């Protein structure tokens, strides 16, 4: 099947041909005909499946012929600023031959600029829910002519506490609009919104293995490492891999900043990306990464949501994601368009259960490897030096350096001179003398309740000794209950609770202050970059609330919440004690 078989306008086909698009991906083949027919749709798809084009092309099909003022016909809601910019740019590129006018609106950008663009008339608005609500209240976002609303990354928007805004926005649009939802997972809250706002929706699901017409070329590897050795292990592994550009995912802002400093000390050009940066700083970081002056981006999940970087060769999970779907999102950033990619996960012994959960979801094996030894690293560094010298030997300007050889020829033999030159080249390549061996934590697996199958990792990973118990403690599964829908407790997931109880916070605001679980999830997720799946259980009482967060993030969350308001009010925040 080609794009011309989907019934798209000639201008769109011409634009796609110019961009080098030859054939639609599975989700595009499934979704585009249904959306062109006007059907409401729920699409379950991971990052890298081509879902932006799947909804962008049907939107652009609705744009009238050139001439006259542009009227807003489509609203696309996304969870983050970066994704708003990325989706907006994609829609503009696809619709350039149609004269499509697209504007992204999001927080962190002067609202006056957005007001000016909206007043001039646009066809498509791509917005974060909070800023969309600002414009709706001001009366500056025209919704009367909206024909289609798209909720992109719907599960992430709910995890970030945007449920109320989404409900209000959908109620403000015409009843006869077309509504489309794309989500990596479809928890009960997604189905709840669908029942209230979608009309007889069709559902399609594209798995990780279906992301491209060809096979996804991602090599998936995990290393079992003690927490105290993680930074050293990461440096050792990256020295061996020599990535073109890599993203390292961490759980908290503090961990991002600390690891960035460590990797810079090791000689990598590393940059931080998290919610504590201004929009201008974030743009500069991304510019340096795309220009190749930064080779390592250390980021939180929320800050990196929606990033699409052509140069990216490696994705590293500094911790195992508690939700398997987060893993799918992360590794979907490499192995695109036929390019090979590498996904690396650093797991503590107690996190091997989570690796098994990921294998079950993706139906793909994750190879368990030993952290490279000092000898392995030295061999690899010699290999890289040989490659560098081979390149130099093929250059045509070697005679320019003949004077150096002539000056030394009388004092030393040519072999000694060559070895000294190699030593300089080896040192200049950044090779480090690393004498410390990193313990293989996988050898502790039997004490941690796991066993190898026939001396080899089970299914490329590990299996629990008691499968029934493992199912009972599977906190990262795709069928876990939705957070924020109850006043009592939420699921345990994420952060520090996979191996024990989470840290707990006392927040001096409760039901009498209008507080609901979703407000607490939203406040914490927006201020700290913890994802919604890492927050809980939650208990809201009359006068106060108790919230679970990863133990290692407790103090950071307390500091962050003390600097903000919840439902417009300052609240006491401290560690909870009985």
Which residue among 161, 186, 210 closes a domain?
210
Say what the pTM is.
Answer: 0.50
Using DSSP, state whether 292 is helix, strand or coil.
coil
> What pLDDT score was predicted for residue 157?
87
Residue 307 tokens read as 């990033």
105 Cβ contact partners less than 8 Å away, ≥ 6 residues apart = 84, 114, 118, 125, 126, 127, 128, 131, 132, 135, 141
pLDDT, tens digit, for every residue of 87-137?
999 899 999 889 899 999 988 777 888 898 899 899 999 999 989 999 999
Q: Residue 565 sits in a domain of what CATH number?
A: 3.30.70.330
Round to whole Å and give the CA distance between 53 and 533: 28
Considering the domain architecture, whether residues 228 and 246 belong to the same structural domain is answered as yes
Considering the domain architecture, whether residues 359 and 412 belong to the same structural domain is answered as no
Considering the domain architecture, whether residues 186 and 327 belong to the same structural domain is answered as no
Considering the domain architecture, whether residues 24 and 127 belong to the same structural domain is answered as yes
Considering the domain architecture, whether residues 383 and 357 belong to the same structural domain is answered as no
Q: Residue 333 sits in a domain of what CATH number?
A: 3.40.50.300
Considering the domain architecture, whether residues 317 and 349 belong to the same structural domain is answered as yes
The dihedral of CA 84, 88, 90, 91: what is its sign? Answer: positive
Considering the domain architecture, whether residues 290 and 390 belong to the same structural domain is answered as no
Which range of residues forms the domain containing residue 404?
A: 374-428
Q: Which residues of the chain are under the pLDDT cut of 70?
A: 46-48, 67, 207-216, 302-308, 310, 335-339, 429-435, 442-501, 529, 532-533, 578
Residue 433 counted as domain residue: no
Using DSSP, state whether 109 is helix, strand or coil.
coil
Considering the domain architecture, whether residues 395 and 300 belong to the same structural domain is answered as no
Residue 443 counted as domain residue: no
Helix (H) or strand (E) holding 128: none
> What pLDDT score was predicted for residue 540?
84
Considering the domain architecture, whether residues 529 and 408 belong to the same structural domain is answered as no
Round to whole Å and give the CA distance between 26 and 24: 7
Which strands make up the sheet holding 102-105, listed edge to edge? 102-105, 124-127, 74-77, 148-151, 178-183, 41-45, 202-206
Which residue among 141, 176, 210 closes a domain?
210
Which residue among 463, 490, 510 closes a domain?
463
Residue 489 counted as domain residue: yes
Residue recorded with tokens 């190898």:
452
pLDDT, tens digit, for every residue of 422-467?
888 777 766 555 567 787 776 544 333 333 433 444 333 333 333 3
Considering the domain architecture, whether residues 109 and 36 belong to the same structural domain is answered as yes
Round to whole Å and give the CA distance between 327 and 345: 9
Residue 502 counted as domain residue: yes
How crowded is residue 96: how many other Cβ atoms within 10 Å of its Cβ?
Answer: 16
Considering the domain architecture, whether residues 195 and 248 belong to the same structural domain is answered as no
Residue 420 counted as domain residue: yes
How crowded is residue 273: how many other Cβ atoms within 10 Å of its Cβ?
Answer: 24
Residue 441 counted as domain residue: no
Query: How many structural domains are present in the chain?
Result: 4
Considering the domain architecture, whether residues 272 and 365 belong to the same structural domain is answered as yes
Residue 286 counted as domain residue: yes
> What pLDDT score was predicted for residue 148?
97
Round to whole Å and give the CA distance between 27 and 15: 19
> What pLDDT score was predicted for residue 264?
85
495: region left, alpha or beta (phi > 0 left; psi from -120 to 50 alpha): left
Residue 437 counted as domain residue: no
> What pLDDT score was predicted for residue 47?
63
Round to whole Å and give the CA distance between 33 and 97: 21
């Amino acid at each position: 099947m080609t794009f011309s078989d989907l019934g798209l306008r000639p201008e769109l086909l011409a634009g796609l041909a110019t961009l080098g698009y030859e054939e639609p991906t599975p989700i595009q083949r499934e979704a585009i005909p249904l959306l062109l027919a006007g059907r409401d749709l729920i699409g379950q798809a991971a990052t890298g499946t081509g879902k932006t084009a799947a909804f962008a092309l049907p939107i652009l099909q609705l744009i009238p012929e050139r001439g006259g003022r542009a009227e807003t016909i489509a609203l696309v809601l996304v969870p983050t600023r970066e994704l708003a910019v990325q989706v907006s740019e994609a829609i503009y590129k696809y619709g350039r031959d149609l004269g499509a006018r697209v504007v992204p609106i999001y927080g962190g950008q002067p609202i006056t600029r957005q007001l000016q663009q909206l007043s001039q008339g646009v066809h498509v608005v791509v917005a974060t829910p909070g800023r969309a609500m600002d414009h709706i209240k001001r009366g500056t976002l025209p919704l009367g002519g909206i024909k289609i609303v798209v909720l992109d990354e719907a599960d992430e928007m709910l995890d970030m506490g945007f449920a109320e805004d989404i409900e209000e926005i959908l109620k403000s649009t015409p009843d006869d609009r077309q509504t489309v939802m794309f989500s990596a997972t479809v928890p009960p809250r997604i189905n709840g919104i669908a029942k209230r706002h979608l009309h007889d929706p069709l559902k399609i699901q594209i798995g990780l293995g279906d992301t491209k017409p060809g096979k996804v070329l991602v090599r998936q590897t995990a290393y079992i490492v003690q927490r105290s050795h993680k930074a050293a292990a990461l440096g050792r592994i990256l020295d061996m891999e020599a990535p073109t550009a890599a993203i390292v995912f961490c759980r908290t802002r503090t961990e991002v900043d600390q690891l960035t400093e460590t990797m810079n000390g090791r000689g990598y050009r590393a940059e931080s990306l998290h919610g504590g940066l201004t929009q201008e700083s974030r743009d500069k970081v991304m510019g340096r990464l795309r220009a190749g002056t930064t080779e390592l981006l250390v980021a939180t999940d929320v800050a990196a949501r929606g990033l699409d970087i052509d140069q990216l060769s490696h994705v590293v999970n500094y911790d195992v994601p508690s939700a398997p779907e987060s893993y799918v999102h992360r590794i979907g950033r490499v192995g695109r368009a036929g390019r090979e990619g590498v996904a690396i996960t650093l797991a503590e012994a107690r996190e091997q259960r989570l690796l098994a959960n990921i294998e079950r979801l993706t139906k793909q094996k994750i190879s368990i490897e030993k952290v490279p030894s000092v000898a392995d690293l030295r061999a690899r560094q010699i290999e890289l030096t040989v490659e560098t010298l081979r390149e130099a030997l093929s250059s045509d300007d070697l005679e320019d350096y003949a004077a150096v050889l002539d000056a030394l020829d009388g004092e030393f033999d040519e072999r000694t001179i060559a070895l000294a030159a190699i030593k300089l080249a080896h040192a200049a390549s950044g090779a480090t003398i690393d004498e410390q061996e990193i313990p293989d934590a996988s050898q502790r697996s039997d004490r941690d309740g796991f066993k190898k199958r026939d001396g080899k990792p089970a299914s490329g990973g590990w299996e629990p000794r008691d499968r029934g118990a493992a199912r009972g403690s599977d906190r990262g599964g795709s069928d876990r209950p939705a957070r924020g829908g109850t006043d009592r407790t939420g699921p345990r997931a994420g952060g520090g609770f996979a191996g024990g109880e989470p840290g707990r916070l006392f927040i001096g605001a409760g039901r009498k202050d209008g507080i609901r679980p979703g407000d607490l999830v939203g406040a914490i997720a927006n201020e700290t970059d913890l994802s919604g799946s890492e927050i809980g259980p939650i208990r809201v009482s009359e006068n106060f609330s108790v919230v679970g967060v990863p133990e290692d993030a407790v103090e950071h969350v307390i500091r962050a919440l003390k600097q903000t308001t919840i439902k417009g009010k300052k609240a006491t925040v401290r560690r909870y004690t009985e």
